[in-house]
A and B are shown apart, each in its own frame.
Chain A
């Protein structure tokens, strides 16, 4: 089977089989990244555009590298250097890019749903690289890949997502993906950062970190979005670090072989202590490596001829 869609917008709308196909395809691409010549001619002649309306190093570089390893031509456009600063609309910008024969557009935007507008209007495939607090599907998929690779499977694992779930698009993508693949998902964080009614998604909510972590197989830490902290979600960062920061003592409550994950960038000493972030349980850098393979898989699977 192939992907049943022209675009990758959200894990929420993907079927389990599609997710499994992407993860399986990523495994083959990981092999390409270990070669001496890390390049295959698969997307020769295709044009991939990174259209980033929010700052990003990791995701943009990861998509750029993925496209280049598949021999596509890559163009990076960021807001500050584009005509958006002159008042051009998102759709007009994208239509102009498409008029230059783009094949795949990767969009990051601060507004939830922005990629849907492009996907409907354009012939090019659109990949959501993070939209507001909605979803970040490629990050979700690379998290699933990393867990599957390290644990051999996802079904039945206890996965705890810690922190600012309210603002986190990564958390939403992770929850949807993990649930579809059969994990038991727990959330932990301050009550101000856990969305009301999220239990309806089939997750368990905890306000005490120790309670959530007990017996966990995977702990996914979310980045505390310091830029949003002026809005009164937290009394102080120090208090957050004390109540929800992951340290060695807390890791010891989890199952043996627990994985500690973080989508980055890390606020060291806030979400996680340096000894845990750099410790044996941490797979944070492996997530970055796997991100390239997963994004290669997405570009490959979307590159068939469009009818």
Chain B
């Protein structure tokens, strides 16, 4: 069973609102940098960067973070996940980092991302922006900016499908056997 949670227009609106919230809370874009968690978070951070530039007229640096090396479940997996590259072309020190991901679920990915960031420098602050918060946290982590809160069951799967990955923009909730996990459909 499949249900569309957000369509392309709603995703656009959610991201526009998040961009405004980021600027309001940080009183502009000074000191800000966006870092997307691979893969979905990278696309969303680029969209947010574009919006912030439209609103403020200022370019915000954008980085890409692969959290694989910081995962806490590597020892339990049959094979190691494919590694992607971390690319952060600016100095993290003393910046306010907006970490961007598509779906917030257990919180373990965000913990890994924060560990990864701390190894790369000492940001002044880390804030978290997600398109969907589906609940079921296993760690004390919450997002500062949320596109949509979506209460889910653990056996449901939230898929974020984006144009950058060759899909039509939409967020889909799937139910049924084998649908467990977060999944962002890239």
> Interface of A with B (CB < 8 Å)?
1-3, 21, 24-25, 27-29, 31-32, 35-37, 39-42, 45-46, 70, 297, 300-301, 303-305, 307
Contacts and interface: CB of A to CB of B under 8 A. Distances in A.
Given A31-B85, A32-B69, A40-B69, A300 B80 contact: yes
30 contacts: A2-B79, A2-B80, A3-B79, A24-B82, A24-B83, A25-B83, A27-B85, A28-B83, A28-B84, A28-B86, A31-B85, A31-B86, A32-B69, A35-B119, A35-B120, A39-B119, A40-B116, A41-B69, A41-B70, A41-B115, A42-B69, A42-B70, A297-B83, A300-B80, A301-B80, A303-B74, A304-B74, A305-B76, A305-B78, A307-B78
Contacts of A3: 79
Contacts of B87: 31
Nearest to A297: B83
B66 interface: yes
A74 B123 CA distance: 32
Contact of A40 (B77, B78, B82, B119): B119
Contact of B83 (A35, A39, A41, A300): A300
B75 interface: yes
A297 B121 CA distance: 24
Given A28-B66, A37-B119, A70-B69, 4 more contacts: A2-B79, A3-B79, A24-B83, A304-B78
For A3, A21, A28, A297, the residue with the greatest tally of chain B CB atoms inside 10 Å of its CB is A28
Given A32-B69, A41-B115, A305 B83 contact: no
B94 to A, nearest CB: 15
Contacts of B119: 35, 37, 39-40
Contacts of A29: 83
A288 B51 CA distance: 44
Interface of B: 66, 69-70, 74-80, 82-87, 115-116, 119-121
Contacts, number: 61
A41 B75 CA distance: 12
B85 A303 contact: no
B182 to A, nearest CB: 21
A305 B77 contact: yes
B89 to A, nearest CB: 12
A271 B82 CA distance: 39
A21 B69 CA distance: 16
A102 to B, nearest CB: 14
Nearest to B87: A31
A300 B86 CA distance: 16
Nearest to A71: B69
The 5 residue pairs across chains A and B that have the minimum distance between CB atoms: A2-B79, A40-B69, A28-B83, A304-B79, A42-B69
A305 B82 contact: no
B30 to A, nearest CB: 25
A42 B76 CA distance: 12
A231 B71 CA distance: 53
Contact of B82 (A21, A36, A37): A21
Given A305-B76, A305-B78, A307-B78, A40 B70 contact: yes
B91 to A, nearest CB: 10
Contacts of B121: 36
B80 A304 contact: yes
A303 B174 CA distance: 32
Nearest to A37: B119
B69 A303 contact: no
